[in-house]
């Protein structure tokens, strides 16, 4: 049973922040709410005040700029990202990912920012955003700040958002030339939450196949969407071979901290990390060569 | 504590006074008596409550009714024109695309949303279009055949 | 051209227009004036004594109208095995002890659901937790806690089936295999959860609207439990959102709503939420299987020995039948000259296991077909060949058990053989596995102790020729209203639209035992056919009198035309004769009566259907993940009455049985089901569904209406076995515990690699 609450539907960011500032911990923010309402129904969350930000149109946009890259308003739905013509020039991986986030109904209503704020390590866009070096903009009445996506989630269902603060924008910088990014997830049933997900982004030098830089990130492999820095070190500065990718997968598997749960054992998750990192490394490499 | 809600459902405007925690599905079923929309899971995963809100398929069990304030909702009750079934409904009958019927309303709404957005979907796109809806009876393939028949133009829409 | 006008044609379901418009009314949708809403409080402990229940605070909550506990009941135990009182072991509202997490202890009726739920939190129950046992192999040990007092070693029921001389036969075998299997649970996941609206009035009459597979069972069991007379209880089944075996026993929604309604004389509605549906209704029986199979070098199967221990959960329910049938169907579909089955059902402190589509046979088919493929491989024989060599044939007697009349197994094997050959060479890591199966067309069991015929029907012809068909058969989605209407129309010689069916309302329909055991088409179909024939005979008497032909001519009706059977052009309109007949009978309506109870058909069923299925999988050997690519089935079910219905049953069974083979499971921790939501309980969705093909086989079953037999549950039997065999063909690993998850496949692949190093 959902407990009664007082409901506000601010129309501007300013109004929302004012309400949040007023009610602090007693308030919960709802966007698409498809995760929050389940928790409320189970009685795990019972806010006194619910601040519905879904209708704040100033946070619903996608902008693309040759210099600054991609800016996605936090209230943009998964479906809008999936369908956006701006998901190109290295950003197309984001549209690919969104296409496999749950069902169309979920994507139509759920927002990208909402999913990030839920803080579930088994979520899709975060690893790719991490590999794309994305940052998040947060606002409160005191002002704004930004933070790398990889620093945003602190623990299971816990984020760096402070009371009174809202996530407002996802910023993805311009993707350098010769960059390839790829993400895949393992699911038992198609389009489910990932049992494990892996994203790899590779930047090649111009005119050679040497890996200038690389980022590897994993979902459902640790308490947070994690960056696999040791695996990156295996690849950085080298000419990438199948053997090296295999090694990167193995290293990523070792540095990850997956759990055993009803979907998979820790041991199986480690096996999957090996395979997915290797495969996405290969795919990212192929894309980088074409880019 | 209650709040006003304006909603247009199947072309009919309504004004209601509801508790903020009321879900869209509850407004449809319990307040407006439109029981064609079902509830199957309470975890945003079965799709039986699918309706169209402002042209998009959404799960009405996972939307607060107030979040739909001012919006337009289409439910299964809005598909037939008078006493004439629409193309998808006729195709569901012809192809046996339902059995117990409990998922059928949601299935029809997902298929409607799909065809509105993409009148010529491929088989894979049809599968994707109904992937958010669980059917425990049919095994889906008859539903895919029914939608395919509509895509192929086997039915004429009633005016 | 078919000799039939209605059966075998592709028709719209008779309940179709209401369903595709959202207008069909389920119990879930019903609202009565003054109706209250109920909720059930359930045990959080797997095993505990109830020391005290304090309902005072809950009763004081504004909006709460009644709170009940076991003390408000007659304190009776109930169960569906009414002939065997010791197996009627479930109180529903527990008085002294709870036996699984989810056992009901109290219920509330309030003005709305939220208030009822709030009241549940205010009921204080003091428990004394008891040691609990969860695994049947542990439960049968001396030192195990006792789930029910006085039941030694927690053994609830045992079953023994034997023929031939098994021990002697094993001595003559060239090759013997012994294998062990572990079979998981499965949830029915009906889209409509268990629900009921019960209205008890001041005149002492009760009406129950409920989502059920047997309105008669609910009526009778409700009478047993409330002390009311059967006739004072009217059970009406509105449109029902699936059953699959979960809805023919008295459940907590029905019983608690009834007791609350009796206290208040107001209608009370209870709808189980999805979590309750997963944790506190019944489920498929998990089993430990021990198989020994002996064969000659040429593949002739000489002997089979089967030992099974099933996880019973807290109560008997239909578990005893699941045990017996898994034993019987372990011999299917082969001619074992020597066979022995010993089955034990152990009580455990887990949710009760009971009937689910296939009723023990999906379990036996998975293990039997897996082992048979291995036996074939050991002997160097093709899997199809070994099935041909031993497969059942028409007019075969299963010694002391069953007599099989029609059987199209060999035609099915031929078709599947051709299908596999047509597929030719497969891509790497693809494999096709086969599985043969059979199933019954309704059970000849009467553990329920009904004094009535198993099925019955009444046909009433109105003055304008419209026909009312009354039957207790339960449409739960499987299409019985359509199939029975088709049978009625065919027999009476009218069109499908001339029939209006009134089903599953005990107030107006004759008794039918319900929709379980794949019994409706054959048993109720026979009753409907007989009732229609009875009405038809009455019409023909008038036709004969009116037309006055030579006495040697026979009459028939087809397409609303009453005519001489051999001279179809000589006839008279059905509508004219109906009018005359009613006038001629002094205004008495024409009523035909029919009933069916199987006699002299062995222990199990009057008829059996057969089939063979081939499943193709594509395995990713690095992750173990596999996709079901194609499932092709050759199924014979006698004369096909409703072809659209059979397609739906078949494809739907693949979704359900494919899930049983691939991903559906109910993992537990100390008796707590860990995935009680549709988000966490994985079901096959449209993107996971394989291509499905149906290969038609023609057979005729003399015992069935127009030669028809079952096409419902049997189709759930083969898929898990076919998947297991396909995975083996694809990558060479065997998984002996269901479901065959990608994780298990990968683990087995790793072990195989280790061994080969």
> Interior CA angle at C357 toward C353 and C360, to 5°?
60
Q: Is residue B156 part of a domain?
A: no
At C536 the pLDDT is: 98
Instruction: Identify the domain boundary among B78, B106, B123.
Output: B78
Domain encompassing residue B128:
87-151
Answer yes or no: do C499 and C421 share one domain. no
Q: Within this chain, do residues B91 and B147 fall inside the same structural domain, yes or no?
A: yes
Q: Do C652 and B136 touch (CB under 8 A)?
A: yes
Check A9 against B66: CB less than 8 A apart. Answer: yes
**pLDDT of amino acid A209:** 84
Residue C579, chain A, CB below 8 Å: the answer is no
CB contact under 8 A, C114 and A186: no
Asked if the structure places residue B131 within a domain, the reply is: yes
CA dihedral angle for residue C315, residue C319, residue C323, residue C325, rounded to 10 degrees: 170
Give chain A positions within 8 Å (CB) of C684.
189
Is residue A206's pLDDT more than 90?
A: no
| Nearest-angstrom CA–CA distance, C47 and C55 | 21
B101 interfaces chain C, CB cutoff of 8 Å:
yes
Task: Please report the residues numbered 1 through 60 in chain B whose beta carbons come closer than 8 angstroms to any beta carbon of chain C.
Answer: 29, 34-46, 48
Residues of A in contact with B114 (CB under 8 A): 104
Do A108 and B129 lie within an 8 Å CB cutoff? no
CATH of the domain at B44: 3.10.20.30
With respect to residue C156, please indicate whether it lies within any of the assigned structural domains: no
- B57 and A4 in contact by Cβ < 8 A? no
Chain A residue with minimum CA distance to C273: A1
State the total domains in chain B: 2
Q: Which of B19, B69, B132 sits opposite A105 (nearest CB)?
A: B132
Contact A105 B110 (CB under 8 A): yes
Q: Name the residue among C688, C747, C750 with its Cβ closest to that of A189.
A: C688
In chain B, residues with a C-beta closer than 8 Å to the C-beta of C685 are 131-134, 140
The fraction of chain C above a pLDDT of 70, given in percent, is 100
Residue B101 resides in a domain: yes
Residues B44 and B63 in one domain: yes
B35 to chain C: closest CA residue: C29
Q: Residues in chain B whose beta carbon is closer than 8 A to a beta carbon of chain A?
A: 1, 3, 19-21, 23, 42-44, 47, 50, 56-59, 62-64, 66-67, 69, 110, 113-114, 128-129, 131-133
Count Cβ atoms within 10 A of the Cβ of residue C755 and give its class: 0-12 exposed, 13-18 middle, 19 or more buried: exposed
Interface check for C192 against chain A (CB to CB < 8 A): the answer is no
Tens-place pLDDT, residues A81-94: 999 999 988 999 99
Choose from A9, A53, A105 for mutation: most chain B CBs within 10 A.
A105
- Residue for token pair 């099974």: C308
B122 touches chain C (CB under 8 A): no
Please tell me whether residues C533 and C423 are part of one structural domain: no
The residue from C262, C280, C298 where one domain ends is: C280
Place of tokens 């598997």: A253
C300 lies within 8 A of chain A by CB? no
Local structure of C442: helix, strand or coil: coil
ipTM score: 0.98
Q: Is residue C287 part of a domain?
A: no
The CATH number of the domain where B124 resides is what? Answer: 1.10.150.120
Alpha-carbon gap, residue B158 to B85, rounded angstroms: 8
pLDDT at A208: 81
When CB atoms are compared, the residue of A4, A38, A79 closest to B43 is A38
Do C526 and C616 fall into the same domain?
A: no
Distances (CA, A) of C227 to A160, C106, C218, C220, C252: 62, 20, 13, 10, 17
- Would you say residue C20 lies in a domain? no
- Contact criterion met (CB < 8 Å) for B140 and C655: yes
Its sign, for the CA torsion B17, B21, B25, B29, is negative
Residues C584 and C685 placed together within one structural domain of the fold: no
Contacts of C244 in chain B (CB under 8 A): 136
Supply the DSSP string of A141-177, one letter for each residue.
TTEEEEEEHHHHEEETTEESPPTT-EEEEEEEPPPPT
Of C596, C615, C640, at which residue does a domain stop? C596
Mean of all residue pLDDT scores within chain C: 97
Structure tokens at A165: 């603060």
The verdict on residue C633 lying in a domain is: yes
In angstroms, rounded to a whole number, what is the distance separating the alpha carbons of residues C603 and C401? 5
The better pLDDT of the pair B159, C221 is held by C221
Question: Looking at the structure, do residues B7 and B74 belong to the same domain, yes or no?
Answer: yes
**Do C558 and C647 sit in the same domain of this protein?**
no
**B47 contacts A105? CB cut-off 8 A:** yes
Q: Quick one: pLDDT at residue C518?
A: 95
Domain termination residue (choose one: B78, B105, B120): B78
- What is the pLDDT at residue B158? 62
Give, in order, the Cα–Cα distances in Å from B21 to each of A15, A52, B66, B69, C116. Answer: 21, 12, 8, 13, 17
Q: Which of B42, B96, B143 sits opposite C274 (nearest CB)?
A: B42
Last-in-domain residue among B47, B78, B109: B78
| Residue C18 domain-assigned (yes or no) | no
Q: Is residue B157 part of a domain?
A: no
* Burial class of residue C637 (count of CB atoms within 10 Å of its CB; 0-12, 13-18, 19+): buried
CB contact under 8 A, A186 and C667: no
* Residue B21: inside a domain: yes
Q: Determine, yes or no, domain membership for C307.
A: no
pLDDT digits (tens, 9 = 90+) for C89-122: 999 999 999 999 999 999 999 999 999 999 999 9
**Beta-carbon separation of B131 and A9 below 8 A:** no
Q: Does C126 touch chain A (CB under 8 A)?
A: no
- Using a CB-CB cut-off of 8 Å, the residues of chain B touching C15 are 101
**Which positions in chain C touch B141 (Cβ < 8 Å)?**
651, 689, 691-692
Q: Taking the CA atoms of C145, C148, C149 and C151 in sequence, report the sign of the dihedral they define.
A: negative
Select from A38, A188, A262 the Cβ nearest to the Cβ of C742.
Answer: A188
**SS3 (DSSP) at C664:** coil
pLDDT of B80 above 80: yes
CATH code, domain with C257: 3.90.1170.50
In eight-state DSSP terms, residue A57 is: G
Residues C589, C728: one domain? no
Nearest Cα to Cα of residue C349 among C647, C3, C55, C101: C101
Which residues of chain C are within 8 Å of residue A262 when distances are taken between CB atoms? Answer: 667, 674-675, 680
Residue of A nearest to C669 (CA): A262
Identify whether residues B74 and B94 lie together within a single domain: no
- Claim to verify: residue B69 and residue B98 sit in the same structural domain: no
**Does residue B71 sit in the same domain as residue B98?**
no
Residues C580 and C460 in one domain: yes
Question: What pLDDT shows up at residue C168?
Answer: 98
Q: Is residue B98 part of a domain?
A: yes
pLDDT of A221-251, one tens digit each? 999 999 999 999 999 999 999 999 999 999 9
Burial B24-44 (b: 16+ CB within 10 A, else e): bbbbbbbbbebbbbbbbbbbb
E strand spans, C454-546: 455-461, 467-471, 499-503
Q: Map out the domains of chain A with their CATH numbers.
A: 6-51 (3.30.43.10), 60-172 (3.30.465.10), 179-290 (3.30.390.50)
C399 & C501 share domain: no
Backbone phi and psi for residue C200, each to the nearest 5 degrees, phi listed first: -105, 130
Question: What are the tens digits of pLDDT across the range A105-132?
Answer: 999 999 999 999 999 999 889 999 999 9
Q: Please report whether residue B31 resides in a domain.
A: yes
In this structure, what token pair is assigned to residue C503?
A: 């089903």
CB C117 within 8 A of CB C106: no
Among C206, C241, C199, which residue's Cα sits nearest to residue C220? C206
Q: Which residues of C touch A191 (CB under 8 A)?
A: 685, 687
Is C115 found in the same domain as C43?
yes
List, for chain C, all residue ranges whose pLDDT scores fall below the cut of 50: 1
Identify whether residues C67 and C197 lie together within a single domain. yes
Asked if residue B130 and residue B65 are part of one domain, the reply reads no
Nearest CB among B44, B108, B133 relative to C20 is that of B108
Q: d(Cα C680, Cα C694) in Å, to the nearest integer?
A: 32
Residue C25 belongs to a domain: no
| Together in a domain, C672 and C568 | no
| Chain A partners within 8 Å of C666 (Cβ) | none
Residue A6, SS3?
strand
Give B80's contacts in chain C (Cβ within 8 Å).
Answer: 21
Q: Are residues C509 and C434 in the same domain?
A: no
B101 in the same domain as B36: no
Contact A264 C682 (CB under 8 A): no
Please report residues of C whose CB lies closer than 8 A to that of A189.
Answer: 663, 682-685, 688
Average pLDDT over residues A166-172: 98
Contact B23 A37 (CB under 8 A): yes
Q: In this model, does residue A285 exceed pLDDT 90?
A: yes
B95 and B66 in one domain?
no
Given C113, C623, C680, which is nearest A186 (Cβ)? C623
Q: Report the greatest alpha carbon distance in chain C.
A: 91
Q: Report how far residue B49's alpha carbon sits from residue B75's, in angstroms, rounded to the nearest whole number.
A: 9
Q: Which of C115, C686, C713 has the most B C-beta neighbours within 10 Å, making it the best mutation to test the interface with B?
A: C686
* Together in a domain, B100 and B65: no
Query: Which residue is associated with the tokens 């996530």?
Result: A167
- Helix, strand or coil, per DSSP, at residue C398: strand
CA dist., res. B34 & res. C332, Å (int) = 48
**A103 vs B47: CB contact, 8 Å cut-off?**
yes
| B158 located within any domain | no
Domain identity same for B74 and B111: no
In B, minimum Cα distance to C9 occurs at: B94
Tell me what pLDDT residue B42 has: 84
Number of domains in chain C: 3
The answer to whether position C286 is within a domain reads no
Average pLDDT over residues B135-143: 98
Half-sphere exposure of C504 (CA within 13 A, CB side): 26
Contacts of C683 in chain B (CB under 8 A): 134, 136
| CA–CA gap between residue C214 and residue C245 (Å, rounded) | 10
Mean pLDDT of A257-282: 97
Return phi, psi of residue A260, to 5°.
-95, 135
Domain extent at residue C577: 454-596
Give every CB contact of residue C268 below 8 A, 6+ residues apart in sequence: C35, C36, C37, C38, C109, C197, C198, C199, C257, C258, C260, C261
Q: Tell me whether residues B75 and C22 touch, CB distance under 8 A.
A: yes
B113 and B68 in a common domain: no
Residue A262 and residue C663: Cβ atoms within 8 Å?
A: no
pLDDT at B159: 55
Eight-class DSSP state of C128:
E
**Which chains does chain A touch, 3 or more C-beta pairs < 8 A?**
B, C
């Amino acid at each position: 049973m959902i407990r009664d609450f007082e409901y506000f539907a601010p129309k501007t960011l300013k109004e929302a922040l004012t309400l949040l500032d007023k009610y602090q911990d007693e308030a919960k923010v709802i966007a698409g709410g498809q995760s929050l309402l389940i928790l409320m129904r189970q009685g795990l969350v019972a806010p006194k005040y619910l601040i519905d930000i879904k209708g704040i149109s100033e946070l619903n946009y996608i902008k693309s700029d040759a210099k600054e890259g991609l800016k996605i308003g936090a209230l943009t739905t998964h479906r809008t990202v999936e369908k956006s013509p701006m998901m190109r020039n290295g950003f197309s991986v984001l549209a690919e990912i969104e296409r496999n986030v749950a069902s169309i109904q979920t994507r139509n209503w759920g927002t990208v920012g909402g999913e990030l704020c839920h803080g579930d390590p088994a979520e899709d866009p975060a690893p790719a955003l991490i590999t794309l070096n994305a940052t998040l903009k947060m606002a409160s009445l005191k002002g704004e700040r930004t933070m790398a996506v990889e620093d945003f989630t602190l623990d299971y269902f816990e984020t760096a958002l402070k009371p009174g603060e809202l996530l407002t924008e996802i910023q993805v910088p311009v993707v350098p030339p010769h960059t390839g990014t790829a993400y895949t997830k393992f699911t038992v049933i198609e389009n489910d939450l990932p049992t494990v997900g892996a994203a790899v982004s590779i930047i090649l030098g111009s005119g050679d196949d040497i890996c200038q830089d690389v980022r590897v990130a994993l979902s459902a492999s640790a308490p947070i969407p994690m960056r696999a820095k040791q695996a990156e070190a295996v690849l950085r500065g080298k000419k990438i071979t199948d053997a090296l990718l295999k090694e990167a997968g193995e290293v990523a598997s070792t540095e990850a901290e997956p759990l055993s749960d009803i979907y998979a054992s820790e041991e199986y998750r480690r096996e999957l990390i090996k395979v997915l990192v290797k495969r996405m490394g290969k795919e990212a490499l192929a894309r980088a060569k074409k880019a | 504590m209650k709040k006003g809600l304006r909603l247009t459902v199947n072309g009919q405007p309504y004004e209601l006074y509801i508790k903020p925690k009321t879900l869209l599905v509850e407004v449809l079923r319990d307040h407006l008596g439109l029981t064609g929309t079902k509830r199957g899971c309470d975890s945003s995963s079965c799709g039986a409550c699918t309706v169209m809100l402002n042209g998009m398929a959404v799960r009405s069990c996972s939307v607060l009714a107030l979040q739909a304030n001012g919006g337009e909702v289409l439910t299964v009750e809005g598909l037939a024109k008078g006493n004439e079934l629409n193309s998808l409904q006729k195709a569901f009958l012809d192809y046996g695309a339902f059995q117990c019927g409990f998922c059928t309303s949601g299935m029809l709404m997902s298929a409607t949303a799909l065809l509105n957005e993409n009148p010529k979907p491929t088989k894979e796109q049809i599968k994707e279009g109904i992937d958010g809806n669980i059917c425990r009876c049919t095994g889906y393939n008859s539903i895919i055949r029914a939608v395919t028949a509509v895509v192929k133009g086997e039915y004429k829409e009633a005016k | 051209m078919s000799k039939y006008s209605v059966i075998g044609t592709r028709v719209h379901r008779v309940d179709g227009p209401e369903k595709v418009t959202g207008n069909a009314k389920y119990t879930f949708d019903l609202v009565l004036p003054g109706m209250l809403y109920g909720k059930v409080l359930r045990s959080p402990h797997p095993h505990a004594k109830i020391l005290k229940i304090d309902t005072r605070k809950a009763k004081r909550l504004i909006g709460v109208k009644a709170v009940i506990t076991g003390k408000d009941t007659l304190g009776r135990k109930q169960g569906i095995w009414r002939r065997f009182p010791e197996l009627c072991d479930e109180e529903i509202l527990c008085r002294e002890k709870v036996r699984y997490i989810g056992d009901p202890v109290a219920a509330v009726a309030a003005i709305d659901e939220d208030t009822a739920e709030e009241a549940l939190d205010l009921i204080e129950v003091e428990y004394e937790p008891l040691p609990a046992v969860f695994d049947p192999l542990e439960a049968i040990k001396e030192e195990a806690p006792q789930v029910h007092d006085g039941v030694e070693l927690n053994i609830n029921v045992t079953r023994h089936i034997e023929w031939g001389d098994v021990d002697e036969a094993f001595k003559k075998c060239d090759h013997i295999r012994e294998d062990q299997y572990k079979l998981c649970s499965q949830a029915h996941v009906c889209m409509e959860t268990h629900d009921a609206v019960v209205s008890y009035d001041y005149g002492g009459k009760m009406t129950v609207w409920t989502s059920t597979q047997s309105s008669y069972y609910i009526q009778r069991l409700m009478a047993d439990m409330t002390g009311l007379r059967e006739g004072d209880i009217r059970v009406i089944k509105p449109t029902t959102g699936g059953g699959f075996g979960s809805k023919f026993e008295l459940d907590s929604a029905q019983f608690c709503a009834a007791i609350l309604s009796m206290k208040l004389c107001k209608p009370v509605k209870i709808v189980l939420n999805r979590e309750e549906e997963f944790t506190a209704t019944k489920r498929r029986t998990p089993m430990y299987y021990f198989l020994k199979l002996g064969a000659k070098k040429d593949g002739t199967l000489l002997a089979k020995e089967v030992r099974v221990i099933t996880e019973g959960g807290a109560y008997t329910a239909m578990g005893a039948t699941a045990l017996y049938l898994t034993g019987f169907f372990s011999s299917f579909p082969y001619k074992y000259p020597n066979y022995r089955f010993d089955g034990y059902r152990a009580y455990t402190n887990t949710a009760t296991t009971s009937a689910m589509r296939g009723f023990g046979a999906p379990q036996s088919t998975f293990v039997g077909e897996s082992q048979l493929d291995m036996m074939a491989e050991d002997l160097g024989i093709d899997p199809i060949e070994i099935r041909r060599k031993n497969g059942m044939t028409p007019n075969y007697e299963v010694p002391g058990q069953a007599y099989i009349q029609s059987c199209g197994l060999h035609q099915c094997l031929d078709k599947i053989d051709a299908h596999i050959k047509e597929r030719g060479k497969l891509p790497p890591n693809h494999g096709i596995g086969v599985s043969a199966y059979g199933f019954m067309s309704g059970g000849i069991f009467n553990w329920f102790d009904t004094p009535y015929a198993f099925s019955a029907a009444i046909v009433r012809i109105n003055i304008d020729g419209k026909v009312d068909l009354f039957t207790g058969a339960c449409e739960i989605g499987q299409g019985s209203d359509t199939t029975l209407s088709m049978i009625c129309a065919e027999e009476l010689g009218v069109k499908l639209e001339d029939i209006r069916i009134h089903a599953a309302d005990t107030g107006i329909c004759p008794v039918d035992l319900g929709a379980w055991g794949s019994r409706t088409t054959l048993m109720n179909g026979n009753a409907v056919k007989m009732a229609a024939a009875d009405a038809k005979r009455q019409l023909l008497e008038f036709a004969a009198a009116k037309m006055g032909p030579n006495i040697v001519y026979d009459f028939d009706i087809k397409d609303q035309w009453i005519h001489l059977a051999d001279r179809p052009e000589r006839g008279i309109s059905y509508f004219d004769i109906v009018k005359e007949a009613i006038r001629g009978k002094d205004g008495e309506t024409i009523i035909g009566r029919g009933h069916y109870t199987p006699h002299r058909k062995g222990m199990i069923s009057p008829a059996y259907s057969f089939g063979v299925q081939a499943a193709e999988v594509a395995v990713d050997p690095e992750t173990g993940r596999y996709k079901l690519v194609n499932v092709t089935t050759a199924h014979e079910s006698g004369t096909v009455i409703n072809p659209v219905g059979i397609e739906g049953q078949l494809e739907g069974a693949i979704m359900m049985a494919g899930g049983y083979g691939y991903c559906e499971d109910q993992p537990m921790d100390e008796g707590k089901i860990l995935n009680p939501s549709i988000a966490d309980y994985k079901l096959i969705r449209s993107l996971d569904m394989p291509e499905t093909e149906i290969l038609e086989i023609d057979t005729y079953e003399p015992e069935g209406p127009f030669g028809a037999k079952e096409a419902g549950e049997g189709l759930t039997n083969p898929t898990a076995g076919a998947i297991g065999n396909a995975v083996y063909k694809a990558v060479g690993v065997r998984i002996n515990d269901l479901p065959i998850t990608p994780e298990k496949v990968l683990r087995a692949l790793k072990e195989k690699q280790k061994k080969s190093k």
